[in-house]
Amino acid sequence: VATGHRPLWTGRFWALLDPTYAKRVLPLTASVSEHQPAAWTSFFFDLHILVFLIPAGLYRCVQKPTDANIFLLVLTMSSMYFAAVMVRLMVVLAPFACILGAVGLSHTIRVYAAQLRGASGGGRRQHDAPGSWRVAALMLLLLAGLLALFDFHSVWATSEAYSSPSIVLSARSSDGSSIVFDDYREAYAWLKHNTPQDSKVMAWWDYGYQIS
């Protein structure tokens, strides 16, 4: 910066391509929690049943390799890798996971719905197993139940994990009662009333944003 030259690619970019780069070259950046690799539990917590629908969507897109499907495949696989390397990029994966999961769900529903229509219309093929319409009906009911569970989980995760202000934290005790941690807000209020207006406060990362 002092010489007027800036690198074309920043350290965060190289950290995405090489997961070991930050630990070797930028240990300060690697120490931030949002720059850590995503755990499998993070994928399931944020995506829920989409984790199982994405492979079905991938299979469907590979079956019909149109320009749109190939584009969706590239975006999904790239964002999935980035989210695995850095947990903060889960938000980049989310829209593509929803689209690809919807593709897989739509194809699955279409297959089982066709079996039901064939059975109800008397057009069942001879090589279809007896009672296959029962399996189709059961699978459709199972998918409907999973979608309802996905909706419930999404509302719960939004209200419990992603709706609290960053300076007021909440948790649940063993008996189910809510606990509110107000320490951050109290500390910032103390700084506001006990330090000069133009004082300089040394803070780490997001605390500096909140103090400002």
Count of Cβ atoms closer than 10 Å to residue 195 Cβ: 11
Q: Is the pLDDT score of 11 beyond 70?
A: no
Dihedral sign for Cα atoms in the order 103, 106, 112, 114: negative
Of residues 5 and 30, more confidently modeled: 30
pLDDT band for position 75 (cuts 50, 70, 90): very high
**Token duo for residue 130:** 């007896």
Of residues 112 and 5, more confidently modeled: 112
pLDDT of residue 144: 93
Which residue from 9, 5, 4, 29 is spatially nearest to 19, judged by alpha carbons?
29
pTM (predicted TM-score): 0.71
pLDDT of residue 74: 92
Which of 21-35, 36-50, 124-138 is the most confident on average? 36-50
Mean pLDDT for 62-78 is: 91
Q: Is the pLDDT score of 123 beyond 60?
A: no
pLDDT of residue 126: 46
Task: Give the number of C-alpha atoms closer than 13 A to the C-alpha of residue 81, restricted to the C-beta side.
Answer: 10
Residue ranges covered by each domain of the chain: 37-163, 164-212
- The 3-class SS string of the chain reads CCCCCCCCCCHHHHHHHCCCHHHHHCHHHHCCHHHCCCCHHHHHHHHCCHHHHHHHHHHHHHHCCCHHHHHHHHHHHHHHHHHHHCHHHHHHHHHHHHHHHHHHHHHHHHHHHHHHHHHHCCCCCCCCCCCHHHHHHHHHHHHHHHHHHHHHHHHHHHHHCCCCCCCCEEEECCCCCEEEECHHHHHHHHHHHHCCCCCCCCCCCHHHHHHC
Dihedral sign for Cα atoms in the order 38, 40, 44, 50: positive
Mean pLDDT for 29-38 is: 75
Mean pLDDT for 109-123 is: 76
142-184 per-position pLDDT tens digit: 999 999 999 999 998 888 777 766 777 777 778 878 888 888 8
Q: Is the pLDDT score of 130 beyond 80?
A: no
Is 86 in contact with 16 (CB distance < 8 Å)?
yes
pLDDT of residue 146: 92
pLDDT of residue 131: 62
Kindly compute the dihedral angle of the four CA atoms of residues 174, 178, 182, 184, in this order, to the nearest 10 degrees: 70
Is 72 in contact with 59 (CB distance < 8 Å)?
no
Is 83 in contact with 111 (CB distance < 8 Å)?
no
Mean pLDDT for 96-122 is: 85
Mean residue pLDDT across the chain: 81
183-210 per-position pLDDT tens digit: 888 888 899 899 998 888 888 766 777 7
- The 3-class SS string of 2-15 reads CCCCCCCCCHHHHH
